[in-house]
Amino acid sequence: MLDAMESAPRKFLKVIACEIAFREICHAAARSPNLHDLEFLTQGYHDVPCRGREEIQKRINAVPAGKYEAILLGYGLCSKILVGLTTEHTPLVIPRAHDCITFFLGSKERYQDLFSNRPGSYYFTSGWLECRTRRGLKPGDPGGMFLPANASANLNATHEYWVTKYGEEKAQYLREVMGEWANHYSHGVLIDFDFTKPLKLDEQVKQTCAERGWDFDQVAGDLRLFQRWMDGEWPENDFLIVPPGEKVVATYDDSIIGTAVAAS
């Protein structure tokens, strides 16, 4: 008798994601019972959200009707790059995350806990380091340090939430108090996985920290969010499913993103 995993029908899923998560997504795909078509976009689209949104929408529109059960989008809210994305025929599945750091830590709750306890942290992953290398950049070069989206996108989203809850004046005060860290990083934190340890990323991050006068720290990565996403396990608390005819909106609350009827 087949067990539950063997007897469950396999899903055929389309993945459209930032190359920043290439290794982690491929690792999760290799462990998943589902079949995936993977498509990776060049890192950096969250820096120019309108351009990034257009490019992601173009890739969604190119997906043929009826071929996949869902389109998995590997992006966080990231400077509102997701806002306005819609689908004509195939549901979108998006992790609820302000930015990709959440993906590597396994949950938005763990991310928020680390963000609150040590806000002056600059996070590194294999993707951040390898994208820098692909472009021939060094840490000291202009643009040689990718600014993680958590540095600005999470603070912006939090500010807008504060405005709705407390009003603009108090929200601005809270932003100024909480925002001091953004100009004064104190720690470089490597998010590492067992399968990335052979890359010896810690040596690269330690060097960068030494050059910038930061303390080095390391936290274990957690693939649970990636794995459930690839496996087709999409609880509402962690994933947004966007039905055809609806679009993504920012919610400015703990759910991060939601849906609304798309304009015809």
Q: What's the pLDDT score for residue 2?
A: 38
Both 88 and 108 in one domain: the answer is: no
Let me know whether 93 and 167 are in one domain: no
- pTM for the model stands at 0.82
Query: Is residue 34 located within the same domain as residue 142?
Result: no
CA distance 246 to 261: 4
Residue 197 confidence (pLDDT):
93
State whether 88 and 40 are in the same domain: yes
- DSSP assignment string, 159-221: HHHHHHHH-HHHHHHHHHHHHGGGG---EEEEEE-GGGGGG-HHHHHHHHHHHHTPEEEEEE-
- Supply the pLDDT for residue 158: 59
Statement to judge: residues 79 and 158 lie in one domain: no
The sheet that has 187-192: what strands, in order across it? 121-124, 187-192, 215-220
Q: Which domain holds residue 136?
A: 102-220
- Rounded-to-integer distance, Cα 247 and Cα 86, Å: 4
Distance CA 74, CA 157 (A): 19
Q: How many domains does the chain have?
A: 2
25 and 83 inside one domain: yes
For every one of its 264 residues, what pLDDT tens digit does the chain have, with 9 covering 90 and above?
A: 335 445 567 999 999 999 999 999 999 999 999 999 999 998 877 667 888 999 999 999 999 999 999 999 999 998 789 999 999 999 999 999 988 999 999 999 999 899 888 888 899 999 988 887 776 666 555 444 544 444 444 555 556 666 776 788 877 776 665 555 445 788 999 999 999 999 999 999 999 899 888 999 999 999 999 999 999 999 999 999 999 999 999 998 889 999 999 886
31 and 42 within one domain: yes
Same-domain check for residues 210 and 242: no
Residues 238 and 189 grouped into a single domain:
no
User: Do 212 and 228 reside in the same domain of the chain?
Assistant: no
Q: Are residues 117 and 209 in the same domain?
A: yes
Give yes or no: residues 35 and 129 share one domain.
no
Long-range contacts of 132-135 (CB under 8 A, 24+ apart): none
d(CA 28, CA 203): 25
Transcribe 217-234 into DSSP letters: EEEE---HHHHHHHHT--
